[in-house]
Structure 1
Amino acid sequence: MAGAFGGFKGCQKIRGPQLRSLMEAKDYFLFDCDGVIWHGEQAVTGAAKVVNALISRGKNVVFVTNNSTRPRESYVHKFFRLGFTGVMLEQIFSSGYCSALYLRDVVKVRGQVFVIGCDGLRRELQEAGIPCVEEEDDPAATIYDCALAPDVKAVLVGHDDKLTFLKLAKASCFLRDPECLFLATDNDPWHPLSGGRILPGSGSLIAALEVASGRKATVIGKPSRFMFECISSQFSGVDPAQCLMVGDRLETDMLFGSNCGLDTMLTLTGVSQLEDAEVYRSSELTANHSLVPDYVVDTIADFLPAFEELDEQIN
């Protein structure tokens, strides 16, 4: 694990002087959104104050989300609507945006992309100049008689709340071509809803296509390193040792931080809880240790007293 706070690292709850020292030591703060910054249309109490205070103190704040359902412009509006007044477009890195960069700048796709995903994902691709298959299927069409778009060079899978069996079947057909890329915005298995219900995530769709195609998808979002490479390419001088990744999911946020050499912080306002992290910490499988956070807070609002202490020192 990265960083210089070995005396109190390793799935340890921190606050007060330790949290203040950590904030002073880091230049970049990477935040997941869902479960950390907000729940749906409700901001986590104190989150806006924390983010605005970090920005006003000259810290670099970046938002790294696997949610590909909305374009970055929509995120800017949501941040402002929920009281995060200083957030700019260039601070937002969604799996949809990074997928567009990957297709345009890394693999330099030359042809159409077949998208399983929401309109927000398509918009990110279109703004990057990536041609998408644009076709409306007849409700009565089946894979036996429908047309298949020509020149499809990649299949990109994200969250799709209008998924049909025909979309899966078409994607499976395109993936029979070994030259056709198989990409996924993220592999989150599920997302929590109110009342104890869950929403299947992109990972469940990927699994279906991996079985049908006999291939493995290249995942662009967390925990892949590519999202951090996107940040590094757009912010000069990013040093992993000066970064803190704050998230609510061990298998994505904490693993992402570990993969990228970042210090990690788990906030208990989302999916994973302290007991989950302790299970991974005591696991005999070394790979599971990469899912253990360096630090734990109940909520990112725990930062607020540290700001107050810093202000008192200045005054």
Structure 2
Amino acid sequence: MAGAAGRGGCHTIRGAQIKELLQSKRNVLFDCDGVIWNGETAVTGAPEVVRLLKQQGKRVFFVTNNCTRPRENYVQKFSRLGFTDVAEEDIFSSAYCSAAYLRDVARVQGKVFVIGCYGVQKELLNAGVTMVEEDDDGPDVSIYDCPLDPDVKAVLVGYDEKFNFLKLAKACCYLRNSECLFLATDPDPWHPLRGGRVTPGSGSLTAALETASNRKATVIGKPGRFMFECIAGQFNLDPEQSLMVGDRLETDVLFGTNCGLSTMLTLTGVSTLKEAEEYKGSDSPEKKDSVPDYVVESITDFLEALEE
């Protein structure tokens, strides 16, 4: 069950099967929202699962497309929710990886125009990436007369609750220069909120700019490979020794498949078992690649295997 026979099989596993799978892996990568916690509530047993995995010598990482907070704030949230042994270097967010890409891969020699929240801005600041200072645009300022910075070499789009027409228009102007990089933290179209409401994600804002600029963004977060390359570069991870656990087929599971990892879907977040089974029968290659190898109700199911 733990080997290649499980690839894309959408097998529901428990107990001894989870134990066998974990014994075959050295590294476990978790998504956060919908897997480790929901809002300000930890998934039942999650702190104990992380503690036991580390106690048994597994390397545990948290790979999230949520760019709203910097890594140091994630550490505080983990602590607040009862996780006692999560360090900053265990956390790879789309904001952190976007900053790493701009600094280490693109090596931008100039400024970055950011559509994004505090988490994105703080990670860029931590990485020493220069941003365009936010203008205090008044109600009468328009794209016809607002200042544009001639030193902008990249546009980065992330989650931004203050997204507006002027930000979109400025980004369009910068992207008319074909030498200006166009990056997005992640492709997530929406995020669930309490009470059944949703909020548009980074992918929605990126889509608006892609349409307006007639350009395609380079996406840093899942399901692209760069986030795994970030971790592998720092910790020498072997994909075959790694398991990706997530709640979203089109990002978490597809990310794992793209990177050569075994994949597991938990049913405590966005995607359902019915959707996974429908994808299994799809003619779309991308949907087939989004089918998990394994399915569990919750990472609480790990406890039985870890406590034996």
Normalised by the size of structure 2, how large is the TM-score? 0.97
Q: What does 1:158-237 align with in structure 2 at a 5 Å threshold?
A: 158-236=158-236
Q: Determine the C-alpha separation between the residues in 2 that align with 1:3 and 1:159.
A: 37
Aligned to 1:278: 277
Aligned to 1:250: 249
- Is 1:143 aligned to residue 140 of structure 2? no
1:234-277 C-alpha deviation (Å, 9 max, x unpaired): 102x1111100000000000000000000000000000000000
1:65-102 C-alpha deviation (Å, 9 max, x unpaired): 00111000000111011111000111000000000110
Shift of 1:3: 6.0
Aligned to 2:99: 100
Q: Determine the C-alpha separation between the residues in 2 that align with 1:5 and 1:307.
A: 22
Q: Determine the C-alpha separation between the residues in 1 that align with 2:129 and 2:296.
A: 40
Shift of 1:282: 0.6
1:19-59 C-alpha deviation (Å, 9 max, x unpaired): 11111111000000000000111111111110111111111
Identity of aligned residues (%): 66
Shift of 1:5: 5.2
Aligned to 2:55: 56
**More moved, 225-234 vs 137-146:** 137-146
Kept in 2, the 8 Å contact 1:96–1:121? The answer is yes
Change (3 A) 1:181 1:49: same
Shift of 1:164: 1.4
Kept in 2, the 8 Å contact 1:43–1:82? The answer is yes
Q: Determine the C-alpha separation between the residues in 2 that align with 1:253 and 1:7.
A: 17
Q: Determine the C-alpha separation between the residues in 2 that align with 1:9 and 1:125.
A: 36
Aligned to 2:299: 300
Kept in 2, the 8 Å contact 1:30–1:61? The answer is yes
Q: Determine the C-alpha separation between the residues in 1 that align with 2:70 and 2:307.
A: 35
1:200-259 C-alpha deviation (Å, 9 max, x unpaired): 0011101100010000000000000000000011102x1111100000000000000000
Aligned to 1:81: 80
Name the SS for the 1:301 alignment partner: helix
Shift of 1:193: 1.1
Kept in 1, the 8 Å contact 2:250–2:287? The answer is no
Unaligned runs of 5+ in 1: 310-315
Q: Determine the C-alpha separation between the residues in 1 that align with 2:265 and 2:94.
A: 20
- Is 1:26 aligned to residue 20 of structure 2? no
Q: Determine the C-alpha separation between the residues in 2 that align with 1:166 and 1:89.
A: 35
Shift of 1:286: 2.9
Unaligned runs of 5+ in 2: none
Q: Determine the C-alpha separation between the residues in 2 that align with 1:10 and 1:118.
A: 38
Provide the aligned C-alpha RMSD in A: 1.3
Name the SS for the 2:148 alignment partner: coil
Kept in 2, the 8 Å contact 1:3–1:241? The answer is no
Q: Determine the C-alpha separation between the residues in 2 that align with 1:3 and 1:182.
A: 39
Shift of 1:64: 0.2
Kept in 1, the 8 Å contact 2:6–2:293? The answer is no
Q: Which amino acid aligns with 2:194?
A: S
Q: Which amino acid aligns with 1:202?
A: S
1:112-146 C-alpha deviation (Å, 9 max, x unpaired): 00000001111100111100001323222111111
Name the SS for the 1:159 alignment partner: coil
